[in-house]
Amino acid sequence: MERADSSDLACGVVLHSAPGYPAFPVRLATEIFLRARARLPQEHPMTLWDPCCGSGYLLTVLGLLHRDALRQLVATDADPDPLELAAKNLALLTPEGLSAREDERREQSVRFGKPAYLDAADAAVRLRERLDCGGGALPYALRTADVFAPASLAAALAAPDGAEGGPAIVPDLVLTDLPYGERTHWEGEVPDGAPVSAMLRSLASVLPGHAVIAVTDRSRRIPIAPVPALERLKIGTRSAVLVRAGDVLDARP
């Protein structure tokens, strides 16, 4: 990945940020995404889902960097508060959204007399060009859903509003950064004991068997037993584990 890409995607440059909603390392996001994609049975445009999306930063970054590999994004969270920020970020997955952000940053550079805002406007131009080259606007669904409640997740993946009787959304890949207690925390019907295993079972119940679930956390090792891991990574302060949805269901006690 080019250095310019990481700089353009930093929180608060083009993408929106707010106190209490941490970003995710851009290079790590791409590495996990590509490793998970390689585990899918076919290479075709996929649907990517973040069920703990928070501000939507992780999904938006992946959408901008890997537009050509994606068909649709799904962003859900049990907490409705950050979804307004997520909506602003996901709107940057359209040329119109990036043009509006460019105009906003140019106006701010004049109003506040800060060259950094002009640099941010130029970054929005580069991201728009990248999005156009990758295939243009990327469709997305943004909804509230409890990651521990299969019925809530199934409702979030139902046909889009206004498409009564239409096909449900079928994610191929789940990629999410777990709440880790410093600035974010679990919401919803959090089970006692093993929230990660409970989350995997809930997700797997609404996914096709071939789907890959990639989970990251600030820990030495993410506990998923008895589910077999497809792959584990440890990079810096974060660990990641990849599992297949079908394996999660087969490993149920």
Instruction: Report, as an integer, the average pLDDT of 5-16.
Output: 91
Least confident range of 1-5, 49-53, 153-157, 249-253: 1-5
Q: Which amino acid is at 187?
A: E
Instruction: Report, as an integer, the average pLDDT of 13-27.
Output: 91
Higher pLDDT, 200 or 3: 200
**pLDDT for residue 74:** 98
Q: What is the mean pLDDT of the chain?
A: 90
**Any idea what DSSP says for residue 93?**
G
Strand ranges inside the chain, DSSP E: 46-50, 70-77, 140-144, 173-177, 212-217, 231-235, 238-244
User: pLDDT band at 166, cuts 50/70/90?
Assistant: low
Higher pLDDT, 46 or 195: 46
Looking at the DSSP bridge assignments, the partners of residue 173 are 48, 212
Least confident range of 7-11, 89-93, 147-151, 193-197: 193-197
For tokens 């709440």, what's the residue? 179
Instruction: Report, as an integer, the average pLDDT of 128-156.
Output: 96
Q: Flag whether pLDDT at 245 surpasses 90.
A: yes
Q: Flag whether pLDDT at 92 surpasses 90.
A: yes
CB-neighbour burial class of residue 70 (10 A; exposed 0-12, middle 13-18, buried 19+): buried
**pLDDT for residue 183:** 38
**pLDDT for residue 191:** 63
User: pLDDT band at 17, cuts 50/70/90?
Assistant: very high
CA-to-CA distance for 224 and 251, rounded, in angstroms?
10
CA-to-CA distance for 143 and 173, rounded, in angstroms?
17
What are the angstrom distances between the C-alpha of 140 and each of 71, 124, 152?
9, 20, 18
